Amino acid sequence: MALLALRNGLVTTGEVTSRTNSRYQAKADLAHVTINSDGGRALYQFRSCGFIMGSYNSGVERSVKVTLSASRAGLAYSTVKSLISSKNKSVEVDDLTVTAESVLEAISEFGPKILNLSLLDSNQVQGEHLATVLRTSFDWRDNVPGWNEALQVARQALLREGVDPEDALYGLV
């Protein structure tokens, strides 16, 4: 099913690293996969499939669980990354709410370290969405990699977009 997802473009890039000859074993390394928003459903289907396989071989089940956990973490991070991309031009309250909720869901499920804000390029991020990520993750700022660095990136992105950083980053600095 995951392979079907790959073929159907739900998973945009990825690599199936190994498949055994066993009838009941299939192993796909999805930990570094970039997944679009519909990919999550396919992965949940894949989890159900993995459960059935696991009933034959608990080792496989465990392996599938670990793989899927890493994949869901990748999905959560990819979602946030795509929301703060400079390609995302929508900055109404509704749009920023989606970003805030995505950040909170990611942290709630995987912890603050999932939000790696290191090495962001100010030309590649949308300033208001990044500011929303920073405000939303403020309570965890000491545990989010690159949080302080991202503050400077947000400032540069906001200036490029003609938005006053003192306004957008109110209270964060």
Partner 1 sequence: MGFSPLCDFNLPENGVAVALSHSPLGGGHLGIVFNETGGRLRLLELRWHRDLTVTDLPVNNCWIATSVDIPPVAAKQVVAKVRAISRKLPKINYGIDFIAARGSFQGTVYSAPKGSNGLTCSSFVLEVFRTAVVPMIQEETWQASEANVEWGNSVCDYLERTHVDEKHVQAVRSDVKGLRLIPYELAAAASLPKEQRPINYNGVQPLALQAKADLNRICKIPV
Binding site for partner 1 (CB under 8 A): 91-94, 96-97, 99-101, 103-104, 107-108, 128, 131-132, 135-140, 163-164, 166-172
Residue 83, SS3 per DSSP? helix
Tokens representing 98 are 């989606």
Give the nearest distance from C-beta 173 to partner 1 in angstroms.
10
**Shortest CB 73 distance to partner 1, Å:** 17
Alpha carbon separation from 146 to 13, 36, 118 (Å, rounded): 25, 24, 4
Min dist CB 166 to partner 1, Å, is: 7
**C-alpha–C-alpha distance, residues 144 and 11, integer Å:** 26
Residue type, 154: A
Q: How far is the CB of 164 from partner 1 (least distance, A)?
A: 7
Nearer to partner 1, 67 or 132 (CB): 132
Of residues 49 and 140, the one with the C-beta less far from partner 1: 140
Minimum distance of partner 1 from residue 167's CB (angstroms): 4
Q: How far from 151 is each of 14, 90, 92, 134, 135, CA to CA, in Å?
A: 31, 20, 21, 7, 10
CA-wise closest residue to 165 among 141, 139, 119, 130: 130
Smaller CB distance to partner 1: residue 43 or 91? 91
Comparing CB distances to partner 1, the nearer of 7 and 162 is: 162
Cβ closest to partner 1, residue 63 vs residue 136: 136
Q: Could you please report the per-residue DSSP string of 4-64?
A: HHHHTTSEEE----B--S-TT--B---TT-EE-TTHHHHHHHHHHHHHHHHHH-HHHHHHH
